[in-house]
Amino acid sequence: MRLNPETVRQIDSPIRTARALLDRRARERALLDLAQAAPQYPAAPEVIEHIVAVARHQHGGDYVEIAGLPHLRELFATELRTAYRGHVRAEHVVITAGCNQAFCLVISALAQPGDEVVLTLPYYFNHDMWLRMNGIAPVYLEPGPDLAPTAAAAEDLITPRTRAIVLVTPGNPSGVTLDQHRIAELSAVATRHDIALILDETYRSFIDTDEPPHALFADPDWARTLVSLHSFSKDFAIPGYRVGAVVASTELNREVMKLLDCVAICAPRIGQEAAWAGLTSAQQWRRARAREIADKRRWFAAMMAECPGGFELLSTGGFFGWVRHPFVGRPTDNVVRELAIRHDTLVVPGTAFLPDDRGTFRVSVSNIDRAALTEFAARLTAAGGSRPQQTLNR
């Protein structure tokens, strides 16, 4: 049979590619798996109990409305109104099978082959993959020295074919968290050009402030250009339940639901019930887990301040650290391969998140405890060179 050449030309999942290295590793020590970000603890007891009750109910496996369970949509809208001090209603919320699906559906509702979408570097690899597989051109927004994009740089990339600007904050892979002012400036660019500003807010619960991540929902006309994407996976330790959300205008959501009906009919009921239980009865648990992740980030930053083996931490936030290796001119894929095979340490190369090799890789700091972080530093020292690179390889 003939395969779609647009799909064939794309890379395999970088997580799958990274895990393929494990069959070749030395196995001289325990594996440090810092590749895929996932909570290392079970869901809250209240969530588990509710899931069990739903599974036992005679209608626990039924379809739900395409837009999602009404009680979940209403509750999530209420949370967003409170957390963002803004104007969000249930009709603005469509529940999806994870945030990846939310992104794919939104892009398919906004753009067609030949259109362009602006992605901030480093991008989340699935975003770039989905655009390319659908004939939509990714246009790369170079960040500033602080690894955050600027409105001026974004403005320069807008053309008549541009349909959206995509921001991930806190960043995946960089962890960089954009402040309210920067997000507002980029939103203004989108508004001036009547294009979408897509905010992937998967890690919004893991920022180091109690202030709203942004103030855009406070504008009564926010739905004109803002599309906010969410995930419940990390918040409630339910990544395998596949539940996320699109928060957008009713006009866009109508198109999203057409697509959702074709690819999944609805997000899995069990995941939606798990998210509802988390929002209802596990908020204190959720905040405690966020504090634990924040502790891990601080420990990681302190450990990397010594540049073990010459490896340099460029940024950290959310679940991630963005690290530059010390081997100037050496392909990052080779560095990552050696870390996995010889040092039993699995990370994801920065080439999965960039159009070129800049000597970087992603570390999922959520995956390890303090002792394992110390071991990670020791392995970097064993693998490393004498000092950090002095400039980015661009």
- The 10s digit of each residue's pLDDT in 297-333 is 999 999 999 999 999 999 999 999 999 999 999 999 9
Has residue 368 got a pLDDT over 90? no
Q: What is the mean pLDDT of residues 334-338?
A: 95
In this prediction, residue 386 carries a pLDDT of: 56
In this prediction, residue 47 carries a pLDDT of: 96
Has residue 391 got a pLDDT over 50? no
Annotate 173-233 with DSSP letters as a single string: TT-----HHHHHHHHHHHHHHT-EEEEE-TTGGGSS-SS-S-SGGGSTTGGGTEEEEEESH
Nearest CA-CA partner of 210 in 296, 84, 320, 76 = 84
d(CA 223, CA 87): 10
Cβ contact 253:94 at 8 Å: yes
Chain center to CA of 379: 27
* 389 band by pLDDT with thresholds 50, 70 and 90: low
List, in sequence order, every residue forming a beta bridge with 323; answer none if it has no partner: 313, 361
In this prediction, residue 390 carries a pLDDT of: 41
d(CA 200, CA 183): 12
Instruction: Indicate if the alpha-carbon torsion angle 270, 271, 272, 275 is positive or negative.
Output: positive
Percent of the chain's residues with pLDDT above 70: 97
Nearest CA-CA partner of 357 in 379, 376, 335, 341 = 335
pLDDT tens, position by position, 90-108: 999 999 999 999 999 999 9
pLDDT tens, position by position, 130-148: 999 999 999 999 999 999 9
Return the H-helix or E-strand segment holding 337: helix 332-343
pLDDT tens, position by position, 237-277: 999 999 999 999 999 999 999 999 999 999 999 999 999 99
List, in sequence order, every residue forming a beta bridge with 116; answer none if it has no partner: 137, 162
Has residue 36 got a pLDDT over 90? no
Nearest CA-CA partner of 236 in 292, 283, 291, 270 = 283
* Single pTM value for the model: 0.94
Has residue 212 got a pLDDT over 70? yes
In this prediction, residue 387 carries a pLDDT of: 55
Cβ contact 171:149 at 8 Å: no
Starting at the edge strand found earlier in the chain, the sheet holding 93-96 runs: 93-96, 244-247, 226-231, 196-200, 162-168, 116-120, 137-141
Q: What is the mean pLDDT of residues 39-48?
A: 93
In this prediction, residue 25 carries a pLDDT of: 82
* 392 band by pLDDT with thresholds 50, 70 and 90: very low
What average pLDDT is seen over the chain? 94
Return the H-helix or E-strand segment holding 333: helix 332-343
Has residue 294 got a pLDDT over 60? yes
Residue ranges of domains in the chain, CATH in brackets = 5-41+285-383 (3.90.1150.10), 45-282 (3.40.640.10)
Site of tokens 């009547």? 194
Has residue 394 got a pLDDT over 70? no
In this prediction, residue 393 carries a pLDDT of: 36
Q: Which amino acid is at 253?
A: N
Has residue 164 got a pLDDT over 60? yes
